[in-house]
């Protein structure tokens, strides 16, 4: 793995990094040693973010990107994309979209930054796809998961415009 020094902080330049969960936030989100969102899976039980990401992916992303991040003829396999995509790049593409044009095809990823059903759950989506990318979770729906905590619910309600 190659690391690039940036302002005194070492970051993986290929996006993969070590996905090991080292710290949990008050909202129940697990972070890796670089401070990026990651998954925490114990046997057949996943953390809330992985479970929520699975649900959000299958409600908003799978139509283009295929079941379980496996890709389609229309859009790339996000399971593979996260092997080389950093967390910041993922957020940028989901929020702002992307347009790839070649002589053979034109692929357009729409911007979802204004869609609260996606924007409010970008970390959840990233965590689920990171678990898929690292083969920490397979193609099945998580059967057991940690509960959503009150801090997560408060942030979710705020992002969705609820009082």
The per-residue pLDDT for range 52-78, each reduced to its tens digit, is 999 999 999 988 888 888 878 778 888
Q: What is the pLDDT of residue 104?
A: 64
pTM: 0.85
Q: What is the pLDDT of residue 124?
A: 97
Short-list 89, 93, 61, CA closest to 77: 61
The arithmetic mean of pLDDT across residues 18-29, rounded, is 95
In the predicted structure, residue 145 carries a pLDDT above the cut 90: yes
Question: What is the sign of the dihedral through the CA atoms of 83, 88, 89 and 91?
Answer: positive
- The domain limits of the chain are 3-159
pLDDT top residue among 58 and 1: 58
Query: DSSP letters of 33-85?
Result: TTS-EE--EETTEE-HHHHHHHHHHHHHTHHHH-GGG---SSS--HHHHTTT-
In the predicted structure, residue 3 carries a pLDDT above the cut 60: no
Distance CA 18, CA 24 (A): 16
What is the chain's mean pLDDT, rounded? 86
pLDDT band at 11 (very low <50, low <70, confident <90, very high): very low
Residue 137 CB-density burial (10 A; 0-12 exposed, 13-18 middle, 19+ buried): buried
Residue with tokens 């190659």, as numbered in its chain? 2
pLDDT top residue among 119 and 2: 119
Could you tell me which CATH number the domain at 3-159 has? Answer: 1.10.760.10
């Amino acid at each position: 793995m190659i690391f690039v020094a940036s302002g005194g902080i070492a970051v993986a330049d290929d996006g993969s990094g070590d996905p090991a969960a080292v710290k949990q936030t008050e909202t129940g989100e697990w972070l890796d040693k670089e401070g990026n969102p990651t998954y925490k899976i114990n046997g057949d039980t996943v953390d809330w973010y992985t479970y929520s990401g699975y649900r959000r992916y299958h409600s908003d992303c799978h139509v283009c990107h295929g079941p379980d991040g496996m890709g389609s003829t229309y859009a790339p396999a996000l399971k593979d994309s996260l092997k080389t995509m950093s967390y910041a790049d993922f957020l940028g593409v989901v929020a702002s979209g992307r347009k790839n044009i070649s002589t053979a095809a034109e692929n357009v990823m729409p911007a979802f930054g204004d869609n609260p059903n996606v924007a409010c759950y970008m970390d959840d989506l990233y965590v689920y796809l990171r678990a898929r990318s690292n083969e920490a979770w397979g193609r099945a729906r998580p059967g057991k998961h940690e509960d959503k905590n009150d801090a997560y619910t408060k942030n979710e309600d705020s992002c969705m415009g609820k009082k």
